[in-house]
């Protein structure tokens, strides 16, 4: 659906070349929510703006549904842009126009038949669950509602792609949830492709199908969302994922003499397997749960458990070997030598 090939974006900063985006190649599939995360300044916005050529790449190609759009003339480009809606962190609504007026504006700008505008606006307001707000002004809406209007406006001309630049970053938790679930609903209803930039990993976890990690203008890792959260590979991915799913050993707890403390990670089916009771039955050890958390990512469980295993050394070792076979990842946090 969207192909980025060897994209560079170079800015002149103090007379030197600065690579905001460096040799990024990416394929985004039709109908998926593709997310880009990374620290501020990583190049996320610059990269996403190359998709509709709001930012022209210094090198590389942008293909939309197989068509190379990198060097289109203005007229051809505006045609392509009709297929790409965009929303922003600060909504960018026209404050002097009503909600209906804001949406109608996008339709008028693209010569939508005048007689049909009112009906289309109402349809869009229903899509974003704000049918009663047509005559209100932006100032009278909550942040979440304003973003819903921005979504309606971005979808006015029935685009195939929706670009979202930090679309939930100005919102509180409740409004963020509202936008995340609306976008999921829209994706399922309209089969639209969504590209979403955020620095909020909770949003990534709930919304994305696939995720790309960016740092210093470079693409460091691309994975499906469950793999990225259960098994991040590169340092920036590990670092960002740990912020949301990590379970740590409380500071005041340290291992006793005959004890070892482990962090277990278990994925998929194994999340349900009663590993703890099996270990205590099979070996002469006692198991204490110190901390535990199960996350559900796209409906699949990812569990992290911190346990203390106490007993004779050979029994602890046997229990460790057994667990190693049965969990996705095991890491010793404290106690006994291994
Ligand atoms: P992100 O979205 O990950 O926070 P951006 O894409 O906004 O990052 O910016 C990446 C880098 O490019 C930043 O260091 C920023 O200062 C720089 N940059 C962005 N736009 C311009 C510009 N028009 N001129 C010069 N530098 C820019």
- pLDDT, position 338: 46
Phi, psi of 211 (to 5 degrees): -135, 145
For a mutational test of ligand 1's pocket, the pick from 40, 46, 218, 236, i.e. the residue with the most ligand atoms closer than 8 A to its C-beta, is 46
Question: For 71-97, what is the mean pLDDT?
Answer: 93
Across the range 242-256, mean pLDDT stands at 80
What are the structure tokens assigned to 245, written together?
A: 């799913």
Length of the chain: 338
| Choice from 20, 55, 163, 200 to test ligand 1 binding pocket (greatest atom count within 8 A of CB) | 20
Regarding the beta carbon of 44 and ligand 1, being less than 6 Å apart is answered: yes
CA of 273 to the centre of ligand 1 (A): 47
pLDDT of residue 124: 97
85 CA distance to ligand 1 middle (Å): 21
> How high is the pLDDT of residue 291?
87
Total-model pTM: 0.90
Q: 55 CB under 6 A from ligand 1?
A: no
More confident position, 294 or 220 = 220
Give the nearest ligand 1 atom to 47 CA.
Answer: 6
The gap between the terminal CA atoms of the chain, to the nearest Å, is 50
**What does the pLDDT average to over 315-323?**
92
Query: Does the pLDDT at position 137 exceed 80?
Result: yes
Tokens (6 digits) for 10? 């170079």
pLDDT at 253: 78
Q: What is the mean pLDDT of residues 79-108?
A: 94
* DSSP classification of residue 312: -
Q: Which residue has the higher pLDDT, 268 or 50?
A: 50
Kindly state the tokens that stand for 129: 């669950």
pLDDT confidence band for 93 (50 / 70 / 90): very high
At residue 337 the predicted structure's pLDDT band, cuts being 50, 70 and 90, is low
- Cα dist. 233→43, 48, 89, 209, 228 in Å? 20, 23, 29, 17, 8
Mean confidence (pLDDT) of the chain? 92
pLDDT given at position 270: 61
Cα of 149 from ligand 1 centre, angstroms: 27
pLDDT of the residue at 52: 94
DSSP of 219-273, one letter per residue? Answer: EEEEEEHHHHHHS--SHHHHHHHHHHH-----TT----TTEEEEEEEEEGGGGGS
Closest ligand 1 atom to Cα of 11: 25
Atom of ligand 1 nearest to the CA of 13: 25
Per DSSP, helices labelled H in 137-234 are: 143-154, 173-190, 201-207, 225-230
Atom of ligand 1 nearest to the CA of 217: 10
- Position 188 scores a pLDDT of 95
């Amino acid at each position: 659906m969207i192909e980025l090939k060897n994209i560079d974006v170079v800015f002149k900063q103090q007379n030197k070349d600065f690579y905001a985006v460096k040799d990024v190649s990416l394929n985004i599939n039709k109908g998926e929510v593709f997310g880009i995360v990374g620290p501020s300044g990583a190049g996320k916005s610059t990269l996403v703006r190359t998709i509709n050529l709001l930012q022209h790449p210094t090198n590389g190609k942008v293909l939309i549904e197989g068509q190379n759009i990198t060097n289109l003339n203005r007229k051809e480009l505006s045609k392509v842009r009709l297929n790409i809606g965009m929303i922003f962190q600060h909504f960018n609504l026209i404050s002097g126009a009503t909600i209906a007026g804001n949406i109608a504006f996008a339709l008028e700008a693209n010569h939508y038949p005048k007689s049909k505008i009112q009906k289309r606006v109402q349809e869009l307001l229903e899509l974003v669950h704000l049918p009663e707000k047509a005559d209100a002004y932006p100032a009278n809406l909550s942040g979440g509602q304003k973003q819903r209007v921005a979504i309606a406006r971005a979808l006015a001309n029935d685009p195939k792609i929706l670009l979202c630049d930090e679309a939930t970053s100005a919102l509180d938790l409740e409004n963020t949830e509202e936008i995340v679930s609306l976008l999921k609903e829209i994706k399922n209803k309209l089969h639209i492709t969504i590209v979403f930039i955020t620095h909020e990993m909770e949003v990534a976890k709930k919304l994305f199908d696939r995720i790309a990690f960016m740092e210093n203008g470079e693409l460091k890792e691309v994975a499906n969302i469950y793999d990225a959260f259960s098994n991040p590979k590169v340092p920036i991915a590990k670092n960002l994922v740990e912020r949301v799913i990590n379970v740590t050993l409380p500071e005041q707890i340290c291992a006793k003499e005959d004890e070892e403390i482990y962090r277990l990670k278990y994925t998929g089916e194994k999340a349900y397997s009663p590993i703890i009771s099996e270990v205590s039955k099979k070996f002469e050890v006692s198991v204490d749960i110190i901390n535990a958390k199960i996350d559900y990512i796209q409906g699949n469980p990812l569990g992290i458990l911190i346990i203390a295993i106490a007993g004779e050394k050979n029994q602890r070792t046997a229990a460790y070997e057994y667990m190693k076979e049965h969990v996705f990842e095991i890491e010793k946090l404290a106690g006994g030598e291994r």
